[in-house]
Amino acid sequence: MSKLQKNAYGGQAVIEGVMFGGKKMMVTAIRRKDQSIEYFQSSRRSNRVLTALKKIPFLRGIAAIIEASANGTQHLNFSSERYDVHPNEDDVIKEEKKESKLSLILGVATIGVLSFLFGKVLFTLIPVFLANLTRPIFASDLAQVVIESFFKLLLLLGYIYAISQTPLIKRVFQYHGAEHKVINAYENNQELTVESVQAQSRLHYRCGSSFILFTVVVGMFVYLLVPTDPLWLRVVNRLALIPVVLGLSFEVLQLTNKVRHVPVLRFLGYPGLWLQLLTTKEPKDDQVEVAIASFQELLRIENEGKSVTGGEQVS
């Protein structure tokens, strides 16, 4: 099968595992305390509004973010609850769970979307106030936008570097690298073996890390179109323009992925790849094994046309 004929699969690192998503299904594989691999399967959840928006350029990015946050958080919640539980404790855990599965899924999905939006607002407004402190020295709108973007980039890189020093996040970043390696192996028509996958790059053009960096770059150009003074208007503009920046950044990400095989244009995606040097780490063989298991399980389910109406755990 040629690269052009292959379906585009995406993924996400979770705690002690990897989630992969196809057109209709999502599968997570995690490494349990006893070294066994456990799977969690779910159908992609969407609605008519999001489905319609995903067909419209500049709006499809926002719809994709909301959908990915809602679906991905459900799998992240599964991994955080299960990875450090010994299989002998499974029955006890099940007895302690009293919540309705539907209410739990809806609650986790809502938290995922709200957490993303809250984080985006913070990373948008903090640089605004920091840049405004320099107005006595740099008064022009151009200078203020450049300084604001600099603070935003500094905040982003500092935050990523800081959390990457914690043991838990470091392992998540290793699984992130394993996820990219598996996708690269699949798209390059390589065998999905640990040795073959490890030989692949841990960087990928479609990564969400690249998207985050593009929001900084795209935002800088968008903010040049609106005034930076007075401060209250600047804050209102930044909040109002969040959907615009997200939508444009998604289109830039899609463009860089499409031209990545064109020698003259592939450099457009390099800034995002450079950021992935922070958000991914070289995985160990056992982590790659989990990523491969997750991806192969997704392929198996999709090839069989299996339908899952809710979350399903498979040991």
Per-residue pLDDT of the chain (315 residues; tens, 9 = 90+): 334 456 778 888 888 999 998 888 889 999 988 888 899 888 877 677 777 777 788 888 778 777 777 777 778 778 877 767 666 665 544 444 444 444 444 444 444 445 555 677 788 889 999 999 999 999 999 999 999 999 999 998 998 888 888 888 899 999 999 999 999 999 999 999 999 999 999 999 888 888 888 999 999 999 999 999 899 999 999 999 988 998 999 898 888 888 888 887 888 888 888 999 999 999 999 999 999 999 999 999 888 865 443 445 544
Q: Which helix (H) or strand (E) holds 221?
A: helix 208-223
Residue 95 lies in a domain: yes
Structural domain boundaries, residue 193: 9-308
Residue 256 lies in a domain: yes
Residue 213 lies in a domain: yes
Residue 1 lies in a domain: no
**With the C-alpha atoms ordered 187, 171, 80, 314, is the resulting torsion angle positive or negative?**
positive
Residue 313 lies in a domain: no
282 DSSP assignment: P
Residue 59 phi/psi, 5-degree rounding, is -105, -25
Residue 167 lies in a domain: yes
Residue 196 lies in a domain: yes
Q: Can you read off the two tokens belonging to residue 169?
A: 């996040």
Q: How many whole angstroms separate alpha carbon 258 and alpha carbon 300?
A: 27
DSSP strand pairing (17-21 vs 25-31): antiparallel
Question: What's the domain count of the chain?
Answer: 1
Residue 301 lies in a domain: yes
Number of alpha helices (DSSP H) and beta strands (DSSP E) in the chain: 12, 5
Which burial class, exposed, middle or buried, applies to 50 when counting CB atoms under 10 A from its CB (0-12, 13-18, 19+)?
A: middle
